[in-house]
């Protein structure tokens, strides 16, 4: 590219953050879309050009840092297997640690997640660039923070804040002995909803297009953050009702009108979020071939039951063991039903979803949970059993013999349940947490960031 044109492009990219009425002198470099301070993928005529990447990096100074492959190998111990966190459509993710020796600007030193593009995978340079563009410019409490990126030869890497509790998918479905309590589930849903509302309410709306449990990450306080913006796309302009694009996303989450016609709006995200709400309510995956044939598609099976409060018990997650707000469950079922409407105009906005979920956090009709007594390790001549009313009873073996065969059978069943819980060492109920730690556990301090 001639130096004159390169200089014009650099001025344009930097100027986009200052002058909203900037006129274009080089239509070959950018699209016709104007009127927003945020640069979009559609604003770039040739997003694969190395010169565009070089110039774009200047516009993101202060928001993200540029790393070398050598630095990222160093912080991940050469992408050692011991640092492996998981793998998605983009590629493998590794844990690393950045200290002030590597990057003095990062205060304090912090753990990070490094995502490396799989050159043979389904996603590529466009998805990598989309993440850099969106997360490099959009900052919110409920969006994962992009710390930096690496662009060297064929290498494409992204560096994020490390999320201690992994994804919602892992916490909800991967066999954890201590299931997610009711209010924690609502808190996670609320955080993700706030992130989506923020995207939808941007001056230039963003359609996330890949809402699913595995893309909702959790920090140590169970604050939910949306991740993986590779499929995100700019929504319709003010004079448009929708955009039409190639169908992409994950089976079981995509809205029916998007699947059938390619027509995409922010309401498509609302539908996908409704699927996540249904997963939180039922504790079941959106699609599972291991379930009976009529139950394999979760939405198809469970949505009709959401309308009838008397049938709600048939689908609500049994692992909650009645430790949930009955009124809250009914309201959540109603909200989920609306989000999963076959007609996109009948679905609520994400702002309405946020308000509804906030009201569920305030309900206090959760039943008193089981009190769990964990026997000291030195006690060998007694067993622990649960009384489902309110107390635990420790019984000696001599007393147990006198109560007969029925009591012994019941005690053995309870004992197996307790032993499983004791192994996890994380035995708690929602009510116990709520009473001990107060509402602060579920109502984080106000953030200065946009909510």
Strand partners for 156: 151
Give me the catalytic one of 43, 55, 210, 269. 210
Q: Do residues 229 and 209 lie in contact, with contact meaning Cβ atoms separated by under 8 Å?
A: no
Phi and psi angles of residue 19, each rounded to the nearest 5 degrees, phi first: -120, 105
Please state the three-class secondary structure of 182-196 as a single string.
HHHHHHHHHHHHHHH
398 catalytically annotated:
no
The tokens describing 141, both together, are 């409490």
**Residue of 181, 102, 208 whose CA lies nearest to 147:** 102
Q: Do residues 219 and 244 lie in contact, with contact meaning Cβ atoms separated by under 8 Å?
A: no
Is residue 115 part of an annotated ligand binding site? Answer: yes
Contacts 24+ apart (CB under 8 A), 90-94: 90/115, 90/117, 90/118, 90/121, 90/123, 90/127, 90/128, 90/228, 90/230, 91/115, 91/116, 91/117, 91/118, 91/121, 91/123, 92/116, 92/118
17 contact partners, CB below 8 Å, separation of at least 6: 37, 59
Burial of 361 (0-12, 13-18, 19+ CB in 10 A): middle
Residues in binding site for ATP: 115
> What residues act catalytically?
210
Residues in binding site: 115
């Amino acid at each position: 590219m001639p130096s004159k044109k390169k200089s014009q492009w650099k001025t344009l990219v930097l100027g986009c953050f200052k002058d909203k009425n900037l006129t274009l002198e080089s239509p070959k470099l950018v699209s016709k879309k104007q009127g927003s301070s945020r640069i979009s993928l559609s604003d770039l005529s040739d997003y694969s050009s190395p010169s565009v990447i070089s110039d774009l990096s200047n516009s993101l100074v202060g928001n993200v840092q540029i790393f070398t492959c050598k630095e990222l190998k160093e912080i991940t111990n050469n992408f050692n297997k011991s640092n492996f966190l998981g793998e998605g459509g983009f590629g493998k993710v590794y844990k690393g640690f950045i200290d002030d020796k590597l990057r003095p600007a990062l205060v304090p030193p912090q753990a990070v997640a490094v995502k490396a593009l799989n050159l043979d995978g389904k996603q590529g340079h466009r998805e990598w660039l989309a993440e850099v563009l969106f997360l490099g410019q959009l900052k919110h409490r409920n969006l994962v923070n992009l710390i930096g990126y690496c662009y060297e030869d064929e290498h494409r890497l992204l560096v994020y804040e490390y999320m201690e509790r992994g994804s919602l998918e892992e916490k909800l479905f991967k066999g954890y002995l201590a299931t997610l309590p009711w209010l924690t589930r609502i808190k996670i849903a609320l955080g993700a909803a706030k992130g989506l509302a923020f995207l939808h309410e941007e001056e230039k709306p963003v359609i996330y297009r890949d809402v699913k449990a595995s893309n909702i990450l959790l920090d140590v306080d169970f604050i939910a953050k949306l991740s993986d913006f590779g499929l995100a796309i700019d929504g319709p302009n003010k004079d448009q009702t929708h955009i039409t694009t190639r169908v992409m996303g994950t089976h079981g989450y995509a809205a029916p009108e998007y699947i059938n016609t390619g027509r995409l709006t922010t309401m498509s995200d609302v539908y996908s979020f409704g699927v996540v709400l249904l997963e939180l309510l039922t504790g079941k995956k959106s699609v599972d071939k291991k379930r009976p044939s009529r139950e394999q598609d979760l939405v198809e099976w469970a949505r009709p039951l959401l309308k009838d409060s008397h049938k709600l018990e048939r689908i609500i997650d049994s692992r909650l063991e009645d430790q949930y707000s009955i009124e809250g469950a009914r309201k959540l079922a109603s909200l989920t039903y609306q989000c999963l409407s076959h007609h996109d105009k009948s679905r609520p906005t994400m702002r309405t979803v946020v308000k509804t979920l906030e009201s569920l956090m305030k309900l206090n009709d959760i039943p008193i949970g089981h009190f769990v007594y964990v026997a000291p390790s030195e006690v060998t001549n007694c067993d622990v059993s649960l009384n489902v009313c309110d107390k635990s009873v420790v019984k000696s073996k001599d007393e147990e013999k006198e109560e007969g065969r029925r009591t012994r059978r019941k005690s053995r069943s309870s004992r197996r349940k307790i032993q499983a819980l004791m192994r996890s060492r994380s035995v708690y109920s929602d009510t116990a947490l709520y009473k001990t730690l107060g509402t602060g556990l579920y109502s984080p301090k106000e953030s200065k960031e946009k909510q």
